[in-house]
Structure 1
Amino acid sequence: MCVGAALFLFDYVLSVAHAEEKFEFYIYFQEPEDFLKEAFDGEPPSPQVLQLGDSEQQRIREVYGRPFPKPRLHYWSADGKTAWIFDDIGKEGYQPTTSGFVVKDGTVVAARVLTYRESRGEEVGEDFFLEQLEGARADGNGLDQTVDSITGATESVDMMKRKARTAITLDSLVN
């Protein structure tokens, strides 16, 4: 093997190792497939697509704080409930957190953090926090129940409240 090829291979292996190290800092709470199985008693329905036109984007902007980053979104629906999996950031410049929400009759019936990618605030993925979002309904652009903050994780808490309210809005667009 020539020296150039050996150096390329060495650099490649180092870059892959570095990338894997970076992902070690992510906290994986639940796989999306497992979330959907839990939401639909082991039998998730096929995904559907919600197209986000101008009027839908306007409604989402009111609660999400900006237009939804994608023009369409997959969701799952059965037995009068919808499940939503999407990303948001807690603090500008941070990596997105992936969460899942199940909504029925305009009420959050389940909230889960699937992958947490920020440097602090991962407590929002714990049951003691997520249970506060369950049973929440829309109240203006917020939620109708108080969600306690977590010291050092204020922006992550705000993100999860915003995402719960957005999931309620998304549900209202398909029901």
Structure 2
Amino acid sequence: MLNKHNYMKGFIASKTALKKSEHATYILFNIAEPRKYKNHETGEYENNTQHFPFIAFSKTAEFIDKHLEKHQHVIIDFRMDMQKVNILDKVQSIIRLTATAIESLESKNSVKARIERFAEKDKVKETDVEHHESLETDTDIDEFITVKQKRVTDKDYDDFAF
């Protein structure tokens, strides 16, 4: 039997403020997953951190907003959903990683020490990198919620329709 859960360990790279739309309370956040690979030319190991965008709803979103901070080491149980959205007047399919549960993997003191360590690095990055706002709107999120609710109640849909 296959495991129906997807788990990821990583660090909270960024998070938005808790948002409320017509149909849901949610938060958007990114998880940084550190990865290393061996450069075959130099023989040295190099960092290749991957960033993954997540969304969380209701109680999970409130927990993240209240208890978790940037740079905190966490483990996330999530599901993958696909949604068609209108971005810059073009319909595109996006894969949405929806956090269903999240737990911290370290103590508050450990988080505080990491935040202090990264504070100077964050200042440098803020001056070097433009901040990108999400192109999605509350309407996109509401549509995502209502489509999922409809699928659960109808149970008469084709998962493989494109």
- TM-score above 0.5, yes or no: no
TM-score normalised by the shorter chain: which range applies?
A: under 0.3
Tell me which protein shows more helix as a share of its residues.
Answer: 1
| Structure ranking higher in strand proportion | 2
TM normalised by structure 2 equals 0.26
